[in-house]
Homo-oligomer: A and B are copies of this chain.
Amino acid sequence: MQMAPMVEYADAPAEVKAVYDDIMTTRKTDWVNNFWKILANHPPTLARLWQDVKQVMGAGGALDPLVKEMLYIAVSVTNNCDYCIHSHTAGARAKGMTDEMFGELLAVVGLANQTNALANGYRIPVDPQFLPNGGAVIEPASLGELDFTDK
């Protein structure tokens, strides 16, 4: 059961209303989802998280917004976060994720969890070819025409 009450718009203090307004304006919607209505119990966290989300998930960066939603799903599945799996899958659907893409996404997430366990279990040492050059950008040429690695 939820650990704090929903803070509805009508009952919200001004600082919370301001964040709600910005959420709805930014998203072009007329509602605010539960995540924000519960974070609003601690207004500084509400304001901070909304700024985080606007900065990280918005358009205009090097990654496509749909790719970011899928990365979010990959993390949320690995952590088994019910709310986040639902909200970000809805978000990815709204941005164009098809059934086929969702199926492939979960296949990758499942496989990665499997090989993570095998690599950790065998304590496999990293190949020198995979090491960044002194922390600098790795030299792709040294990997040949890798279609895919590790894996």
Contacts and interface: CB of A to CB of B under 8 A. Distances in A.
A18 interface: no
Contacts of A135: 1-6
Interface residues of A, number: 112
Given A42-B106, A74-B71, A99-B41, A150 B88 contact: yes
A124 B67 CA distance: 24
Looking at chain A's contact residues, the main secondary structure is helix
A83 B126 contact: yes
Contacts of A31: 129
Contact of A137 (B38, B99, B108, B134): B99
Contacts of A149: 27, 33, 69, 87-88, 90-91, 94
A33 B6 CA distance: 28
A124 B93 contact: no
